[in-house]
Amino acid sequence: MISKINHIAIVVGDLDAALQAYHDTLGLPIGERKVMPQQEVEIAFLPTGDSLIELITPTTEDSGVAKYLAKRGEGLHHICLEVPDIEAALAEMLARGAQLINEAPVQAAEGRAFFLHPKGTHGVLIELLEPYPQADSE
Amino acid sequence: MISKINHIAIVVGDLDAALQAYHDTLGLPIGERKVMPQQEVEIAFLPTGDSLIELITPTTEDSGVAKYLAKRGEGLHHICLEVPDIEAALAEMLARGAQLINEAPVQAAEGRAFFLHPKGTHGVLIELLEPYPQADSE
């Protein structure tokens, strides 16, 4: 059901500084960057092989990500596992007794997704994602 | 220089329970498992596409991992990025001004590795790894 690690998400206080640090220190290329008003975050990607490192910073002071940053500081936030069919994954997770945060898939930056609650995964917020179709075969 | 995400490491209190939860909930296959006396941990892998999820539990009460678990609880611990040549990666990181934990590569479970200090990577412990040659082409 799970095809690969799509991305690892890291919460940071200063997106510009973090992006530069990851690019300068690790030599990773700088990828797409976007503001997500609904999630109250800005994100930037660094392609890493066939996966991505995602840097996230809150754009408001009372979002979940802002509270996480205030409480725990910068660092690893969640992992995202890619699936070919998000509805099938949701149904299978429910059948397997997973503790879900979302009752139905939601629109994420890169596709349709739902999250597993850290209570059921030994402390790790896990996103399941079916990416939007890529246009790069055109 | 970096070819892919080799693994994501998660620290857990009970390795058996966590391994079963990840297998049962996500349907990931159960891979290799080993005790690492020098690091005072036991680890188990769940292959995830071309990468791995690594579960780690301390085997003593005063190791770095044990203290991390006691302080922060279960959850994401570090990420491991794969490189083809660990000496070249170390030299390049030094030249790039990275803050290293190790001055030379050390023996890790799956290859030779060194770690970047979280102070230089916005809170993330990052392992760079050159895997041991695989025997599966025989």
Where does the pLDDT of residue B134 fall: very low under 50, low under 70, confident under 90, or very high at 90 and above?
confident
pLDDT at B94 over 80: yes
Chain B residues whose CB is inside 8 A of the A8 CB are 5, 8, 79
The residue type of B86 is I
Q: Residue A111: enclosing H or E segment and its boundaries?
A: strand A111-116
State chain B's mean pLDDT as an integer.
95
Q: Give residues 98 to 117 of B whose Cβ lies within 8 Å of A.
A: 98, 116
Minimal Cβ distance to B124: which of A75, A92, A93: A75
Q: Are A6 and A80 in contact (CB under 8 A)?
A: yes
Assigned CATH for A4-131: 3.10.180.10
Q: State the ipTM, two decimals.
A: 0.94
Which of A 23-62 lie inside 8 A of B, CB atoms? 24-28, 48-51, 53, 55
How remote is the C-alpha of A54 from its chain's centroid? Answer: 7
The helix/strand/coil state of A17 is helix
Q: Which pLDDT value is given to residue A135?
A: 64
What whole-number distance in Å separates Cα of residue B111 and Cα of residue B130? 6
Domain ranges within chain A, ordered by starting residue: 4-131
What is the DSSP secondary-structure string of chain B? ---EEEEEEEE-S-HHHHHHHHHHHH-PPP--EEEETTTTEEEEEEEETTEEEEEEEESSSSSHHHHHHHHH-SEEEEEEEE-S-HHHHHHHHHHTT--BS-SS-EE-SSEEEEEE-GGGTTT--EEEEEEPPPSTT-
List, for residues A13-32, the tens digit of each pLDDT value. 999 999 999 999 999 999 99
Of the candidates B8, B93, B88, B92, the one whose C-alpha atom is nearest the C-alpha of residue A48 is B8
User: What pTM did the predictor assign?
Assistant: 0.95
Write out pLDDT tens, residues A57-111. 999 999 999 999 999 999 999 999 999 999 999 999 999 999 999 989 999 989 9
Q: Is the pLDDT at B136 greater than 70, yes or no?
A: no
**Chain B interface disruption, residue of A7, A10, A26, most B CBs within 10 A:** A26
